[in-house]
Each structure stands twice: as C-alpha cells, then as structure tokens.
Structure 1
Amino acid sequence: MVNQDTDKLQLQEQFSDILLVLDKKKKKIEVVKGIGSDNKLQTVTPDKKNQSQFMRVDKHGDLFSNFFSNFLHQLKDPTHFNFFRVSARDVITVAKKIQNAVDSSSIAGKKLLAQYEIKTDYKQLNKYNMETKQSTSEVGEYRFKLEQIDWKAMSNMGINKERLEKMNLIDPLLKGYKTNELVPISLNLGNAVTRMDARLSLQSNDEGKVIVAIHGIRKEPQLNFPFFGHEFTKEDKDNLLKTGNMGRVVNLTNPKTDEIIPSIVSVDRLTNELVALRSNLIKIPDEIKGVKLDEQQKQSLMDGKSLYIEGMTSKKGEPFNASVQFNADKRYVEFLFDRSNTNKQSQSQQQSRSEQQEVPRTFRGKELDDQQYQKFKEGQTVYVTGLVDKNGKDYQGYITFNKETAKTGFSFENPNKTNDKAQSKGNSEAKNSEATKNGKEPEKAAQEKPKTAAKSKVPKM
C-alpha cells in the first residue's frame, strides 16, 4: 500500500506543477491552496507537512494557460500578487530560494524570480475575445476541420466528441464561434479537481496549432482595465452594465499586429466576458418585425447605438414598440429588455440544463430506458436489473440521484420502504408517548397477542 501511494505521488510530481505566490505587501512566498468562496486566495506555507494541500496544475501548456487565465478571473484583487510556476518535485527547495531572492533584492535574485515567474498582462486577459470575433469567417463558412480538434485536451476537461454532438456544439466550434451555451467541464489538478461551467471556442496559436479556449464565468465584466487600448468612460461602463452593449464605435488595437480596428464592444451575458467585433462586420437587416428601416436608422445601428422602433408586429400578430441594438457577441440586432431580469432567467435556465446534462444515463454499464431515466432525473428511486458484478454474476437493486451532490446512491433494498417503516415506527412511538402523558396505558405491540395465543395452542407433550 505504501509503495502504491509513493508511486502515485511520484506520478503526480512528474506531470504536475505547483503555483507559488508572492503577496506584494507581506513579501512572503507561499503555496497556492485554492480560491475560497469569497474569491480570496487560499495559501499554505511551503512545508512537507502541507504537501497534500498544494494545488497541482497540469503541465500541458494550453491547458495550463486556460486554467491560469480563469483562475485570475475568479480571484479577488489579482494585481496584489505575483505567481510562480514550479515543478512539484522541487517546490519546497525552490520556494526557499525564491524567498531568499525576495529578501535580498539582488540582481541574481531578480534573475531567479524571472526564471519562474508567470508573466501576466492584466490588460490582455481577454485576448481571445478579440481573436474569436475579429478573425471569424462569414456565416456558413468553416474555419476549422474536425480532425484539427485536440480531443486529448478535450478529454482532460471531461469532454468528448459524442457529448459535443449531443449538445449540437460541433458546428459553431468549427465555424470559429464560441459554443452558444455553457458546457460543464472539469480540470484535474492532481490533488484537486476544479469544476466549472464555460463556453468553449477553437483558436489558432502562434505556431498555427488549433487549441481549445475556455471562456469561464466572471463575477462581473472587467471594466477597470484597458480593453485593447481603450479606456472605458463612465458612460461606457454604465451602458455595458445596463444593456450589455457599449453603444458606440471605438478604435481598438490588435496586440499581435498593432492594427487599429474600429469596433463595437458587448458583454457576453453567459460569462461576463467583454467581446469586440469589427464595425465592418456589422450586418443590419432592411426590416425588423415588419418595420422597414430607413438609411438614418440603419446608420444609427451601424454606429452601435440603440434605436427605438414603433409599430412592430409580434409572432402572435400583436403590435409592440421596443428598443433594439446590435450585439457584438450575438452578431445580430437584439431587443433591449431589463438585463438584470434577463440574466437571472438565463442563469436559471442554464443551471437547469447543466443539471440535466450531468445526470448519467447509465449505471454500472446498464443503460436506463426513457421512463426510468425521467424518474431518475427527478430524484425518484428506480429499480434496475441486469447489473453484473466483478465475478460476472447478475444482481439488481435500487438507484437514486442526489441533485445536490450530483451522486448516485445504490441500495439492494428499496429505500422508500425503509423510510416508510421508520416513519411508521416513529408514529407508533409518538402515539404511545402521548398516551403516557395523558395517564393512559400505552398500546401493546400488535404481535404480542398472537404470541400469547400461539403459546396456549401448543399441545402438551
């Protein structure tokens, strides 16, 4: 057993890195443990006794980049820290060297820090947001091929081809778009598994390799940092928070080419990412809900502004008035309603979909039929036959899905009947207790009378 644990630890050390962090105020090197529910960084001292608490990160380059980007977005006040990436094998030794370098502030010490430090440009944390929308082909064209997808990287996130096909997400990925809904993913970090909902997209890195980009959920849009060279004004921020669209065209700078690109900016309402779209890719329809747009109205929408339209006709044939605006993330003219209510409804629907997607269809190799699966999703107990144990013998039992823990419970006996018996017994005890309080003789157990009767009928030998 000891050898197995040792082998497992050595395997983890071989394929994982550890995050060290320097608090700029405390000037102290610690090991990242995780992020708390309050979005504050959790750390431990770099000692052997704390090794089991070290958060391990997969060495895979693209996976690490995605993880670290989402890690920073979740973290409260990330600019207060410097992060260092160290091999799991050398973490304690290197941590001491880095602490000495911080204390000494020598030239040699600065070189050591640069060797392990993760360079983070907080101004460019949203780099995928421009690449996804600026370089995407026209609607209907495919930017990527199915064989270019790195399915190994997808597998590391708990995703496979069959799952994406069932969710109808392959087509938008190949066209260069983000998935139109959140996908539950998991990142195995050795001693910890991070689960999150995220939108996915395919990107080409500097070497031309197709990688998977993870667009995790942010607590709020990053409006206090420059966005591709653009500083948000108070009006910009108010518009983005209120309607999800900035409301004007601004010049953004492509970080790779330094090209100045007139663009509009919107908020991805599923993840709170900021998304940019070239203004020359904006397509305005000639007519919206039965109302033909004149050139002035079209130009107003082209400029990213909102437009109030009267006399439109709904699908039910009823007239209505509403404001519309072009959304950079959706790439079409949308109706503007109360965004706070829309967000709550969207999150509720998305949570419901995620819960349904995570409910397994099979249990121990046995696939549930439609009726069983429906009851199982609702949390009801389902009787399953045809299960096979390790020795090849058939068995059967009862399964129940716990929505809170997302785990499946198994029992050889029907847990509902067990609960009924317990409840019946409890009711009987309560009844006797009440009788005692009222000065009455508690009821005798039902089986006591038959015992007495049976005893009197036993013939004498």
Structure 2
Amino acid sequence: MSENRMTPPTEGQEKDVLLVLDKQQGKVSAVKGFDKEGNLQTVPPIQGGEFMQVDRNGDIISNLVANFYRKFQDTEGLALFRCKASEVEQNAKAIENNHRHPTPEGDKQVEALRVPKPDNPESKQGYRFDPAKIDWESLKKVGITAETLKNTKDYDRVMRGYKSRNTYTISGTIGGFYLRPTDVKLSFYQAKDGTIVPKLHGVQQDEKLLQRPYNGHEFSKQEQGNLQHIGNLGSVAQITDPKSGGQIPVFISRDRHTHELEYMRADKWKCPDSVCGVKVSPEQKAAFEAGKAVKMENLQFKDGTKRSAYLQVSAVERGLEFLPKSAVQTLQQGQQQVTGVKDEKGVEFNGHVQPGAQGKSPDKVQAKDVTPASESRTQVAVNTEGKTNEATKQTKEPLKQGQDKPTAKQREKQEKTQDKALKADKPKKSKGMKM
C-alpha cells in the first residue's frame, strides 16, 4: 500500500478505532477513551496501541460521536475518522499526509473514513432538545423561525442548550399582550411536564443591577467595573446555590448585549491543554482557573495567521472566550500601575498589577501580583526567575533596576573571574627532580 493510499472500513468481525485530526497541528491521534468530564483521551496511532475499539454499527459509537461533537461544538479544528484496528497506523499517516498535501484521490479516500458531524437538522444526535417538540408556530408570531436561527448559525447552539450568540428583534401579540419591538437573545429549557419552553432574554437597562447582591455575593467597585466594561468578574466568587442553598465557587459574567448576569461552576470547569495550537502553560492554567484574563502569544488562526490575544473564562460562553477589542482596551487602560516593588534579589522594579490583584492597596501588592514593565522584564527574569540570555548567562551579580545586560565593569569582573578559573584548572609544569 502506498503512503497516501487508504482502505475504507468494511463490514466484518474486526472492530473499529476512532482517529482524531488536529487541523492546527496537522497531527492524528487515536482515541483511548473519555474521562468523567467527557474530555477526549488520545494516544499515538501506533499498531497494537491501547485504543478504544467499538462495533461500527453499535449504539455505542453513535453515542460517542454525538458526545464528541457536543463537547467540541465550537471547535472547527478537529476532525473525526474511523478505521479498522489493524489499519490504524497506515490510515493515520495517510490522513496527516493528505492534510498537508491534499490531492483529489486523497480527499476521496479520507472522506471514506470520515465520521460525519451530526449537525443534520434531521438528526437529533448531540442535541439536548428535540426540534420536533418545539412550538415553532408561537415563536413565528413574534418573528423567530427555525430558518432564522439556521441563517445566523444559532440553530445548533440553542438546540444543545446554549443561549443564542445573536440578538433578534421581536414584536407581535403573545397571550393577548402586545409586545413592542425589542431585541432579545433566545434559549430553551425543559419544564417539569417535559415540554420545551422558549426563554427570551431581553436587554436590561437597570443601572443598579450590579449594586445589588447576586445570589448572596456583593460586588466590589472593582468587580462592578470588570463586569460592566470587560464582561467577566475577573476572579472566582462564592455564591449561594439557588438549588441546594449551599456555597459554590463560580465564574460570573455579564452578557454584553442583554446585560444579563450569568454564572458557571468553577469547580466543574476544566481548562483545555491548548488553544489554537498553542500549549497552555501551568501558570496560564492557574490564571484561567482563577478567572483572570491571560494574553497568549502566536495563536494559530484559521486564516493561517498567527496573532496574540487575550482570553478569559466566560460564564456566558460556558468556557474560554477571546476578549473583544473594547474589553482589551479597558483591561489595559485600567491596569493599576505600581512602582518600587522588589524582586527576589531586593532590587526595585516597576510594572502593573495583574487583573486578579486589581484593587489591592499598594502596600499589600507583592512581586507575584505584578507584571514587570518592558524595561524591567529582563531584570525580573534574571533576579527572580533565574533565567538568562546570551548577555546575562555569566552574570553573578543581580541586575539593577531597568538593566538588561552587564555593565562594562561587570563584564570586566566576569572576564577576570573566568581567567582565574582557567588558570586554576590548568596543570602546573613539572620542573624535574633535583639531584
């Protein structure tokens, strides 16, 4: 079999293996299983590996595919394939090769292995609600139809239990009441009797909403500003669970269109391992899990470009979101400037307080709360983090404020130290034995 040739799966006793293509990285992995949170577990597609194997015609694989696309509903960078367990290695390699260098023949063979995304309106796989059970006629009276939602790409989103991303202008008569034209977002929920009920999220103009307790949590001035101008609280809050009455940790966000407040359990959310092909570092994960905004570099976007962007957990989006330009500007403009903070070597540096520590009094701000200003980055990296570059790798003394390379005196001292070390290591010449 040639490098790009694949054999489509056929009926038989042999079970199938699921393969996942990460389009950003151009790599194919084999599915090992799913953890309790529904996250995908993968392993290298090497022959004889520990793969999850399923009957191609069984209900199990249908459920797995539905769960996969429900979990990754907003991810266009993943593709799912299915092949015989005995052909996993050659098919994985061929899928990667065709992704890098597509050909008409290769495309045809890849399609034979592809598991179709269950977003066909006739298919309810992955949907939380059955479209057939929704009273579309009542919604049509106020101006919303299934076709409207499909045109704005909100159909799949609301069927899976999320609030629409777009707003819709509604008007008309409902239950004898005349509804003036107003902008709303749409979601559905299931009533106790099993019926699917539409929920219209109107724009809230109440300016004092943020000044009132939210499920027992009172917003500080800083938190009110974050919700109003950025859209997210910027930290994890403790609220009273409306269902159990106990205290739960949550992310809180404000819908930028309707101004509605929403929360999401912080202890139920898991940070992804990578974003747009870039690995999320342990420090970034910790910041995300604390509700902070994080700037990530060199993210690979669908148009082939690499850009930097700020991301933050959003309760409205039920996960990480790219902050819009207005929120980023507010974030940058509102950064609390500090001076005189000391690094690990006791040398002062300047910077701005990170979002999670905004509002701290200057005397309580610690070095870990501060992102160094551009002129202090090398100083802090060397003195606090122990990092070095070509210019500082031989530096024994702490860098002074704003210093990014050794001074002439320090270089001269370094050279003398090195010369002494070389002479000490050099073996002494023997003068011979005296007679």
Please indicate the TM-score interval, normalised by the length of the shorter structure. 0.3 to 0.5
Normalised by the length of structure 2, the TM-score is: 0.42
Structure label with greater radius of gyration: 1
TM-score, normalising length from structure 1? Answer: 0.40
Highest relative contact order (Cα 8 Å, sep 6+), 1 or 2?
A: 1
Structure number with higher helix proportion: 1
